[in-house]
Amino acid sequence: MAVDVSSRDMGAMRRRRRRSLMRDVVGVGVIVLAAAIGYFAFPDNLALLTRIIAVALLVLSLDLVTGYCGVATLGHAALFGSGAYAAGILSAHFGINDPLLMTLAGLIGGALAGLLSGLVMLRAHGLPQLVLSIALIHLFHELANKMSSFTGGSDGLSGIAPDPIFGRFEFDLFGNTAYVFAVVMLLVVFVLLRILVRSPFGMLCRGLKEDPLRIRAMGASPKRAIVKMYGISGAVAGLGGALNAISTQVVGLDTLSFTQSAEALVMLALGGTGSLFGALAGTVAFMMFQDYVSSVNPFHWLTMVGALLIAVVLFAPKGIYGTVAAFLEKRREGRP
Amino acid sequence: MTAAVGNPVFEVVSLKKSFGGLVVTNDVSLSMAAGDRVALIGPNGAGKTTFVNLVTGTLAPSSGEVRLGGEVITGLDASARVKRGLVRSFQVTRLFQDMTAAEHLGLAVLQREGRSGRIFGNFLTMPDVMQEVEHRLETLRLTALMHRKVREIAYGQQRLLEIAIALALKPKVLLLDEPAAGVPQSDVGLIEQALNELPADLAVLMIEHDMDLVFRFAKKVVVLAAGAVIFDGAPGDATRDPRVREAYLGSYADAGRVA
């Protein structure tokens, strides 16, 4: 009897692991497929697709603190913008134009901004925390605005001229190289984040989101976990910022704006929090919809975006991916 | 107040807490040695919950000391106290609804060993962790629920899981906050069995309302009323003590019959 139970559990465990691995493979496959479809469907608009990927990195990063740790923030673009400026300044002021070094600078800049934000954010909870995040993004924005000799202020930072990747692949006018670079970056980040959310630390954060008191009673420090996750989240957002700086060769104050932060949160809610697939789905849906509607009706596109959001909140409160996942789960449980 | 036999592993010395003019914990002292089984009882509003919060570090006392293994831990926060071996369970189960029983125990084991910050790997593939998780579930007869999410588990078994998590943190002192609260009468036996099988060298302080359970489990009873200790001694003497009877005003008249 005991043997039966244990062997059945081993089987269940293997199935679970296989299913989880399957989801990784499917995830990578879907990204590659979507990237290929995008490439052939919008050959003239690779700049938009590259921008979607950069923002997707921001939304994934936001999901780490909001979806996995339960910290609601309206200031997450601070991490994205810091990465963008770090990469841009390296090129424009220090003449270091290697795109990989610029990417690394973005990662570090984002991570530092993330650690700083994390330390500030855990001073409060709930509504005051949300207000704190708004204060943070305004401070970052104002800092970049005032340090205009470094950042270009409201004119934006120009003079960014990335070298060819590995000295071979030049950033061409059509954005082919930038797009491939972006897709590869997204794939690497996606796989690493899948590992992260399954790791002991990922599990700790999921627990933290649900009940910080329980986590403390296990002897773990919620504050340390949040600051650490903010650091990781900053690195991811910083990569997105660097990608944006490299591909557009300009960094504007809008990368550090409240609007960008709020839009990221909207995209995450649209796709579904607490899931990497949700973050990706939300970004693609929001940005494609925004691009399409604004070209069809430049006067009322914001109204339509608003209507879409209300519809999602009312009819699919778990977001696009969350709703689909819940539906599939139900069907699987329904089967014997 | 009480001299425990041997070296005390856990001591509370003149603990006081007041909110403004309201004194909720008044000069409470307690001493426990390894292997002690003590029950903390008292009528509603006696200050039992405040006492637990003061001892575990959720609340800061106005004065007094808490010592663990001779070390003063009054200034430490809740998680630091857990790391040193002072572990609590909760009156109302606090578990993660979407996590499995194995994940709860895995997290506790990893946390105890300082591995919960790792960003690579999955505990399901860590043989040493899984072995311990399986062993702990088996001890509490929860093996069949290993990969069930908490929201699919019956409340009585959730309470057992709560005890398993506390034990996985390898405590020196265990505070059980009403371990049988909310458990259907038919399952109280399961909880009691688990309590009887707790490690012999563990000091256990149980806060409980179920008098039957208290009298069977505890070798010593501490009665709290209006924030102060009014009785400290053998369970049999508690029910005969006039102050205890007065404090309860007969609300536990049947407690006397049991004893």
Per-residue pLDDT tens for A98-146?
999 999 999 999 999 999 999 999 999 889 999 999 999 999 999 999 9
Task: Give the best residue of A7, A203, A228 to mutate against chain B (max B CB count within 10 A).
Answer: A203
Q: Could you tell me if A222 and A208 are in contact, meaning their C-beta atoms sit under 8 angstroms apart?
A: yes
Is B124 in Cβ contact with A218 (below 8 Å)? no
Instruction: Please tell me which of the candidates A206, A219, A220 has its beta carbon nearest to residue B96.
Output: A206
**Distances in whole angstroms, Cα of residue A154 to Cα of each of A25, A147, A158, B213:** 43, 10, 11, 72
Q: Pick B146's closest partner by Cβ from A9, A210, A217.
A: A9
* Domain spanning B1-85+172-259: CATH superfamily: P-loop containing nucleotide triphosphate hydrolases (3.40.50.300)
Bridge-based pairing of strands B37-41 and B220-225 is parallel
Judged by a CB distance cut-off of 8 A, whether residue B95 touches chain A is yes
Residue B249 binned pLDDT confidence (cut-offs 50, 70, 90): low
* Helix H or strand E encompassing A252: none
Instruction: Please provide the average confidence, as pLDDT, over all residues in chain A.
Output: 91
Give the pLDDT of residue B258: 43
Domain limits, CATH 3.40.50.300, in chain B = 1-85+172-259
Q: Is the pLDDT of residue B251 over 90?
A: no
* Angle of the A222-248 helix axis to the A200-210 helix axis, nearest 10: 110
Q: Which site among A21, A214, A275, A318 would you substitute to test the B interface, given the most B Cβ atoms closer than 10 Å to its Cβ?
A: A214
A16/B147 Cβ within 8 A: yes
Which residues, 6 or more positions from B39, have their beta carbon under 8 angstroms from its beta carbon?
A: B205, B206, B207, B208, B214, B217, B218, B220, B221, B222, B235
What is the three-class DSSP state of B231?
strand
Of B111, B143, B146, Cβ closest to residue A218: B111
pLDDT digits (tens, 9 = 90+) for B150-193: 999 999 999 999 999 999 999 999 999 999 888 888 888 889 99
Q: How far apart are CA B64 and CA B49, in angstroms?
A: 17
Residue of A nearest to B83 (CA): A219
* Residue B68 contacts A where some CB pair is shorter than 8 Å: no
8 Å CB contact of A225 and B97:
no
A195 touches chain B (CB under 8 A): yes
Tokens, residue A194:
């899948």
Give the pLDDT band (50/70/90) at residue B259. very low
pLDDT at A64 over 90: yes
Q: What is the pLDDT of residue A188?
A: 97
Cross-chain Cβ contact A220/B111 below 8 Å: yes
pTM above 0.80, yes or no: yes
A112, A125, A271: which is closest to A208 by C-alpha? Answer: A125
Is the CB of B141 inside 8 Å of chain A's CB atoms?
Answer: no
DSSP string, B109-128: HHHHTT-TT--S--GGG-HH
Chain A CB within 8 Å of residue B116 CB: yes
At residue B250, the pLDDT reads 54
